[in-house]
Amino acid sequence: MALLFQPLTIGNVTLKNRIVVSPMCEYSSEDGFINDWHIVHLGSRAVGGAGLVMTEAAGVSPEGRITAEDLGIYKDEHIEGLHRITKFIHAQNAVAGIQLAHAGRKASHEVPWKGGAELNAEDPRAWKTVAPSPIPFKDSETPPIELSVEGIQKVVTDFHKAAIRSIQAGFQVVEIHAAHGYLINSFLSPLSNQRKDKYGGSFENRCRLLLEIIDAVREVWTEEKPLFVRISASEWITGGWTIEDSVQLSKLMKERKVDLVDCSSGGNSASAKIEVKPLYQVPFAEKIRKQSNIKTAAVGLITKAEEAEEILKNEQADLIFFAREMLRDPYFPLHAAKTLGVDIPWPVQYERAKR
């Protein structure tokens, strides 16, 4: 059987194949709540045959959302709706995962189809953003508030509480979002983190917030439950975070029982020059996998079944995260199986259309 359709067991969870619906923001919530859009969007990808279906980034606090329309998991009232999603996904023999996030200095913005700009301070939807240092992502934007040590501990607590709610909502995989210039990523980078206390300066200090969050999540998200971390493996800019840093960080995360590193890149420096092309991030997943001895996921302009199969054959990654291709084709896994000559079960409601 093609490697893309071989199962993978992590902890006490078995994925039926190596295809993951990558977290993709839908900007369609009100006060963090799911609605019919989320049920249909995520549910159709489970019907389409993915092994793991991840929610979009879910804010661990109201101020941790990118936009006021982001999904949230910052209050108990969110649990019931999220449980509707996990129940449906699991009924399709797929696994439901959630990405926990804090947007940091990239929060309080408009939705993309309305331009995506920073919200005007007078907009009733706007809020003050926070970061390791008062450095805006773009020079034209309002400087964020530098988090106090007490504020940092609140962030750690927010992730801890979000992990508890994730259990109650029935998720089987949690991913901590530490990429793309959001709060945790901005602590990791020496360009955005210019603190002088124990959370800034040295590599160890800049990693401290993420490692504290991992420990706080693992207090409740026990070791048999898969824990992923998404990172920006390279900042793509001189003086910034590098792939060598990511290898070192991944070793530290493995010691703390992180099961898999989801290897993206960029997003923390507005001036970064990135040559975006198919499979451009796969070498990051390969290097971290081989040098840190930890499972990895490849992501980024992977659009064909043959590409995914080759990545797995070359032992460059353990899972393949599909993003835009899953937006274009919710049934990509069913089509990929046909391409690779694999006969997999279809939903019984669709069996008559299989041939």
Among all residues, which ones are annotated catalytic? Answer: 182
| Residues 25 and 302 sit within 8 Å (Cβ to Cβ) | no
C-alpha 64/C-alpha 103 separation (Å) is 5
In eight-state DSSP terms, residue 72 is: B
C-alpha 247/C-alpha 236 separation (Å) is 15
C-alpha 139/C-alpha 355 separation (Å) is 56
Residue among 62, 139, 140 at smallest CA distance from 103 = 62
> Judging by DSSP bridges, how do beta strands 8-10 and 173-178 pair with one another?
unpaired
DSSP reduced 3-state for 115: coil
C-alpha 271/C-alpha 291 separation (Å) is 29
Pinpoint the alpha helices (H) of 70-202: 78-91, 149-168, 183-188
DSSP secondary structure letters along 167-185: HHTT-SEEEEEE-TTSHHH
DSSP secondary structure letters along 315-353: TS-SEEEESHHHHH-TTHHHHHHHHTT---PPPGGGGGG
CA 137 remoteness from chain centre: 20
Residues whose CB falls within 8 Å of the CB of residue 92, separated by 6 or more in sequence, listed in order: 43, 46, 47, 347
